[in-house]
Structure 1
Amino acid sequence: MNNKHSTLLDGRHALVTGAGGGIGQAIAVALASHGARLTLLGRDAAKLEAVRQQLPGDGHGQVLADITNHQQVQHAFAEAARARGDIDILINNAGAARSAPFGKTDPELWQQMLDTNLGGCYHGIHAALPAMQRHGWGRIVNIASTAGLTGYAYVAAYCAAKHGVIGLTRALALELARSGITVNAVCPGYTDTPLLQAAIHNIVAKTGRSSAEAEASLAASNPQGRLIQPEEVANAVLWLCLPGAEAINGQSIAVAGGEVM
């Protein structure tokens, strides 16, 4: 796959966290298809390499880092900038979801959800923002969740973290509004990814329902009665990064078939 579909993002360096599959992979493919040079960030080199080989165009690479570790993120972003130039587009996609009744949400689970889902965004933005400010242009897209816009039972820590991502998005969008940098969030509903399949397996194990029944219960929250596809999330992210979306700032865009309005 070496043919670019367009050149609208030619010369732009995009870094995607959590890029080893699922939504992150779909976003990387979408951005590369419009000419961006990609850096894929994650913790599994083999998965990142498999995604890199699928990307249209040339000059893409990968870096390893734990998104919850500030120093690792700073080092990885600096390495990416040396290899492919300053980062113009940052997609904070890495995340994790664990469920438990609030009474069984221990401090470790609580902190893990905050560190991964909210702290990861902070670390990434902190590393990429100075170069964006120097150049007077940047696109930051935080992959939040409909859990950042509404509440769900048994995932209080996850909801709290994703609500925090929305708050961070809104605050930074105002702070940076005159700088040429936009900050937005994309909020998927239940999306057909390996992460969701793990959740389905967990439901099956705990309830005895079949995989089909468990999947149907999740899809039922979407008024369209289906799971969101990773490419649909990627399309929303891509639009926010393309020319013509400069006025879209501080928004939290639900990709959920009308579940959240």
Structure 2
Amino acid sequence: MSKKALVGKRVAITGGTHGIGREAALAFLAEGADIAIGDLDPGRVRAVATQLNRIHGGTVFGLALDVTDSGRFAEFLAAADRKLGGLDVVVNAADVSPTEAFLAETERESDHQIDVNLRAVITGSRLAGARFVAQGHGHIVNIGSAAGVATALGAAVYCATKHAVIGLGTALHRGLAEQGVTVSTVAPGYVTDPEAVADAIVDCVERGRGGLVGVPPVSRFRSALLPHPDSLRRILGTT
């Protein structure tokens, strides 16, 4: 069994019940970190936390979180700090995708993408940044996208949010490094492999790597037929 590299690290993850957030939680647990996951549905987030605990037997808490409410976001981080005995890493993984092409998308749908994909990342980065500067260390990981570097047809608002997240991350990476805070922006390819993205997130924390980090897209064929080997090891608890 390999040595766990992140024993003692305390990690808070938004959007932790599904997709990249859940896979990041698994990946951090596999490396020995203690984690708190947040999501909008209190019952679901507690159930997922229990499930993750059964897989790895590590320390994991499920906490209610509405990332679009700055007050509740602050409460989530404060609760995670209390439960874990401090915080070292915050991963802003909550994300929503478009359901319609730009001209068919309602103003409400566009606003929801902006609220979750951008405004919540700004809020999370600000709250985590203030906390980490005060304690003299910390790592913020935000989730961008290849769509924020180039374009994705029919997803203009989504592209705009991810482009802004990449710009935010670049500015914060340069602005907070001297105050002991590392900021990483992990940008998956168009066909996202959540396990590979989770591995990239954990690698950033293990190596103290800031800045923009790309994740190559996964083949649709491979994604459909072959489970990611690291995912199997995490699920089986055999890292």
User: What SS class does the counterpart of residue 142 from structure 2 fall into?
Assistant: strand
**Per-residue deviation, 1:29:** 0.9
CA–CA separation in structure 2 for the residues paired with 1:79 and 1:94: 18
CA–CA separation in structure 2 for the residues paired with 1:45 and 1:164: 29
Structure 2 counterpart of 1:150:
150
CA–CA separation in structure 2 for the residues paired with 1:100 and 1:19: 25
**Per-residue deviation, 1:78:** 0.9
Structure 2 counterpart of 1:17:
14
Amino acid paired to 2:35: L
Structure 1 counterpart of 2:100:
100
CA–CA separation in structure 2 for the residues paired with 1:10 and 1:79: 20
**Per-residue deviation, 1:21:** 1.8
1:49-77 deviations in whole A, cap 9, x for unaligned? Answer: 34323242433211111111111101111
User: What SS class does the counterpart of residue 142 from structure 1 fall into?
Assistant: strand
Matches within 5 A, 1:178-193: 178-191=178-191
What TM-score comes out, normalization by structure 1 length? 0.76
CA–CA separation in structure 1 for the residues paired with 2:197 and 2:170: 20
What TM-score comes out, normalization by structure 2 length? 0.83
**Per-residue deviation, 1:173:** 0.4
Structure 2 counterpart of 1:54:
52
Of residues 199, 205, 210 in structure 2, which corresponds to 1:249? 210
Choose 1 or 2 for highest CA Rg. 1
CA–CA separation in structure 1 for the residues paired with 2:155 and 2:132: 34
CA–CA separation in structure 2 for the residues paired with 1:239 and 1:178: 21
List gaps (5 residues or longer) in structure 2.
Answer: 220-239
**Per-residue deviation, 1:190:** 4.2
Structure 2 counterpart of 1:44:
41
**Per-residue deviation, 1:186:** 1.2
Which of the pair is proportionally richer in helix?
A: 2
* Range with bigger deviation, 139-148 or 123-132: 123-132
**Per-residue deviation, 1:257:** 5.0
1:13-40 deviations in whole A, cap 9, x for unaligned? Answer: 1011101022211110111111211001
Structure 1 counterpart of 2:25:
28
Q: Number of residues paired by the alignment? A: 216
What is the root-mean-square deviation of aligned Cα atoms in Å? 2.0
**Per-residue deviation, 1:5:** 5.5
Cα 1:5/1:18, change in 2 over 3 Å: farther
Structure 1 counterpart of 2:133:
133
User: What SS class does the counterpart of residue 187 from structure 2 fall into?
Assistant: strand
Contact 2:193 2:217 in 1 (8 A): no
Structure 2 counterpart of 1:224:
none
CA–CA separation in structure 2 for the residues paired with 1:166 and 1:49: 31
CA–CA separation in structure 2 for the residues paired with 1:229 and 1:163: 20
List gaps (5 residues or longer) in structure 1.
Answer: 192-227
User: What SS class does the counterpart of residue 62 from structure 1 fall into?
Assistant: strand
